[in-house]
Amino acid sequence: MREIKDSDKKPFATPISPPQVKTITTAIAPLQFPENDIGNEWERLVAQVQCINQMAAQLEAMILEFKTIAGTLQEKGQPYKSICQYLPVSVPWVLQKPDESFILTMRKVDIFHAEREAAQLAQQLRLQSRKKEWRS
């Protein structure tokens, strides 16, 4: 260890300045949002609702297209082998209440709607053709 001699000691001289005093004229105010910020946020929320519902509609269309493609494959494939099983399906959906608040919920996708419509139309056509036969 090195021994410190008196000659190695140097005086430490730093000028000491008087403390600086600043006067504060404003107090901390509570956080307040300007009204235009609330309006902007409301517009963003409404835009997000529209986006969610639009994407839900697109997703529903894609699900129905998936079912159509699977049905086509089923017809071309082995009739005893099931390609796809269908369980109840829902997509996210946002509703707005009369008080302008929102409800994030689910909307059921009716994947058998087209089949029911086709069966109903076929039934109507059969009835019309029977009526024509009876009249003649």
Is 116 a member of any domain? no
Q: Which residue has the higher pLDDT, 129 or 3?
A: 129
In a domain, 46, yes or no: yes
Looking at residue 132, what is its pLDDT?
75
Classify residue 60: in a domain, yes or no.
yes
Tally of domains within the chain: 1
**Quick check: is 62 in a domain?**
yes
> What is the model's pLDDT at position 22?
63
In a domain, 1, yes or no: no
- Domain with 48 in it: 38-110
User: What is the rounded average pLDDT for all residues in the chain?
Assistant: 82
Res 58: pLDDT: 98
pLDDT of residue 59: 97
Q: Is residue 16 part of a domain?
A: no
pLDDT digit string (tens) for 17-60?
A: 666 666 666 666 666 656 677 788 999 999 999 999 999 999 99
What DSSP string describes the chain? Answer: -PPPPGGG------PPPPPP------PPPPP---HHHHHHHHHHHHHHHHHHHHHHHHHHHHHHHHHHHHHHHHHHS-TTS-S-----EEEEEEEE-TTS-EEEEEEEE-TTHHHHHHHHHHHHHHHHHHHHHHH-
* pLDDT tens-digit readout, 69-121: 999 998 888 777 888 999 999 999 999 999 999 999 999 999 988 888 988 99
Identify the pLDDT of residue 99.
95
pTM score, whole prediction: 0.61
pLDDT at 64 exceeding the cut of 80: yes
